[in-house]
Chain A
Amino acid sequence: MANVITDETIEYVGILAKLALSEEEKEQAKADMGRMLDYIDKLAELDTTGIEPMSHVLPVQNVFREDVVTNGDESEKTLKNAPGEKDNMFMVPKTFE
């Protein structure tokens, strides 16, 4: 069974992944993803009826702590890494008019 990735699918994945692909990249992505999915389809050979999906291998429980700040104010150091900064805040493009 060969997976054919349509233009619509690759558009949709581009939106989900927040990636803008050139026409050339789109064609390559269609081919690559189709091949990978063909390969992943091998999993369908296995009967997994009644098997619980395993997200974590060890029996660990959720870990809670008191909602108390333990680290200091690092806003200045943190903002040094920001591509845009103004008045101790992140600068972002206008999000609405």
Chain B
Amino acid sequence: MDILAYSAVELSAAIKQGTVTAVEAMAAVLSRIDERERDINAYVTMDREQALKAAAAVQEKIEKGELNGVLAGVPVAVKDNLCTEGMRTTCSSKILENFVPTFSAEAVVNLEKAGAVVIGKTNMDEFAMGSTTETSAYGVTRNPWNTDHVPGGSSGGSAAAVAAGECYFALGSDTGGSIRQPASFCGVVGLKPTYGTVSRYGLVAYGSSLDQIGPLTKNVADCAAVLEVIASHDVKDATSINRKEENKDTDFTAALVDDVKGMKIGIPRDYFGEGLDGEVKDAVLAAAKQLAAKGAVVEEFDLSLVAYAIPAYYTIAAAEASSNLERFDGIKYGYRAASFEGLHDMYKKTRSEGFGAEVKRRIMLGSFVLSSGYYDAYYLKALKVKAMIKNAFDDAFAKYDLILGPVAPTTAPKQGESLSDPLKMYLGDIYTISVNLAGLPAISLPCGKDSKGLPIGLQLIADSFQEKKLIQAAYTYEKQ
């Protein structure tokens, strides 16, 4: 069997059986990268030698019986906003072009403890602000299904790397859909966990109250396995939740059960209105029918407030971004302007030269909505609307186990079509962002292709801590 055809879990099993080694798997990935990377550009930074060395060290531990987890020996790609000790972490921004972290993100540490081997860092929209991976300072990433199209974003490099076989699985981060939407556009599985499930320690913050790290994988079984490894309580992240202690089980692989009998699934009518592409709509509703045929109870309902999620989200995310990105000042790390007159001029020139247009746009909007005189009208108002949106979801989950809908209104747009009109690009996030506002878990999985051959994504949303329901339904659908 072609080594690259294995899923992550299959690969690890094969390594344990001795039919393939971790080094062979890494070598296969690296040669695939050599073949495809010129077209795809999924990676910002790689260290081949180090990757092969790390794979050899893991292989030795597997042979000694010191490592026996389900991801032992599996090559992984890491989004470039997750710190990796000793490996450059840029957030796809010029301002961090030379930043080498002194520590690794907790999610990366958890993966390495389980024996996964980091290949390199994947491309993204600068500071995760964008939906196309076109705002990167290191060139665009292209969709492996059709390189004229975007891979989605902001975790576009991670999604493209999984789809192109340039890794076995990847980590991404999701602030408003940044795992689910690129997963949908690239035909892979992506999951955004309940807020607080995966430690954000070492994740370069964008919108801290919305950011969550999650897996991008070839299938649902890999997704459950990766989530099980990266979910952990971490005192270094004050918003991290101790799910084990609170009896909120994290044995996600136990939910890989082919059965949705009696599961109640709600389809929000407000997700199927104007703006939704006909082919996407048909594919998503066909998936709902298949789950119904498997015994799920599927019905339509009104979620309400859907149109208010985007303005609330962009207010809150921009406000948090303007605060979080104050740390990039040319003092402690990263880029510093070459010439300046005094401290304040240095700050301003460093930031103006180091940040790209979309990042500046959001920092300015965020500074404005937080400024005195506008704080109540914009920022506080958005936080109140967030509470209303959370309530609407609470009402829905009083009736349903899951909510089913599209991930994005269309399949992947062509390169260059989105950035000319930022507001239009923001509207593409309509089905994903309310999940972040409400802190909920949601999964994106492939549910067919459109007439252009581009993948379509199905989104399932669950109540807080109900990832296992997502995984069970997604697994059942995938088994069709």
Q: Are both chains from one complex?
A: yes
Contacts A17-B364, A33-B364, A81-B99; is A92 near B331 (CB within 8 Å)? yes
Q: Give residues of chain B (94-140) contacting chain A, Cβ–Cβ below 8 Å.
A: 98-100, 102
Which residue on chain A has the smallest CB distance to residue B378? A40
What A residues does B244 contact at CB under 8 A? none
Main secondary structure of the interface of B (DSSP, over half): helix
Contacts A57-B195, A82-B332; is A94 near B342 (CB within 8 Å)? yes
Cβ-neighbour of A52 out of B336, B340, B387, B437 (below 8 A)? B387
Across the interface, do B330 and A19 meet the contact criterion of CB distance under 8 Å?
Answer: no
* Count of A-B residue pairs with CB < 8 Å: 161
A–B Cβ pairs within 8 angstroms, 27 of them? A10-B364, A18-B344, A18-B348, A21-B352, A21-B360, A25-B360, A35-B423, A39-B310, A39-B423, A40-B311, A40-B382, A44-B381, A48-B388, A53-B386, A53-B387, A54-B387, A57-B209, A57-B390, A58-B195, A58-B241, A60-B239, A80-B100, A81-B100, A81-B102, A83-B334, A83-B336, A94-B342
Contacts A16-B371, A62-B238, A81-B100; is A32 near B361 (CB within 8 Å)? yes
Across the interface, do A17 and B308 meet the contact criterion of CB distance under 8 Å?
Answer: no
B185 interfacial by beta-carbon distance below 8 Å: no
Contacts A60-B196, A65-B235; is A43 near B311 (CB within 8 Å)? yes
What A residues does B241 contact at CB under 8 A? 58, 60
A88 interfacial by beta-carbon distance below 8 Å: no
A61 CB to nearest B CB, Å: 10
A-to-B contact residues, CB < 8 Å: 9-10, 12-14, 16-21, 25, 29, 32-33, 35-37, 39-46, 48, 51-58, 60, 62-63, 65, 74, 77-78, 80-84, 90, 92-95
4 shortest interchain CB distances as A-B pairs: A53-B383, A57-B439, A83-B336, A81-B333
Chain B residues with a Cβ closer than 8 Å to the other chain, count: 68
What A residues does B340 contact at CB under 8 A? 93
Across the interface, do B390 and A54 meet the contact criterion of CB distance under 8 Å?
Answer: yes
B-to-A contact residues, CB < 8 Å: 98-100, 102, 195-196, 209, 235, 238-239, 241, 305, 307-308, 310-312, 314-315, 322, 326, 329-336, 340, 342-349, 351-352, 355, 360-361, 363-369, 371, 378, 380-388, 390, 422-423, 437-439, 464
Cα(A13)–Cα(B333), bound, Å: 25
Cα(A57)–Cα(B361), bound, Å: 27
Cα(A41)–Cα(B385), bound, Å: 12
Cα(A16)–Cα(B367), bound, Å: 6
Across the interface, do A40 and B308 meet the contact criterion of CB distance under 8 Å?
Answer: no
Cα(A42)–Cα(B310), bound, Å: 10
15 further contact pairs, Cβ within 8 A, besides A80-B100, A82-B332 = A19-B348, A29-B364, A43-B381, A44-B381, A46-B308, A48-B384, A54-B383, A56-B209, A57-B195, A57-B390, A57-B464, A81-B102, A81-B334, A83-B335, A95-B342
A80 CB to nearest B CB, Å: 7
What B residues does A10 contact at CB under 8 A? 364
What B residues does A29 contact at CB under 8 A? 360-361, 364
Cα(A54)–Cα(B388), bound, Å: 9
Which residue on chain A has the smallest CB distance to residue B361? A32
What A residues does B345 contact at CB under 8 A? 20
Cα(A16)–Cα(B347), bound, Å: 12
Cβ-neighbour of A36 out of B314, B334, B347, B371 (below 8 A)? B314
B300 CB to nearest A CB, Å: 24
What A residues does B423 contact at CB under 8 A? 35-36, 39
Cβ-neighbour of B102 out of A42, A53, A77 (below 8 A)? A77
What B residues does A57 contact at CB under 8 A? 195, 209, 390, 437-439, 464
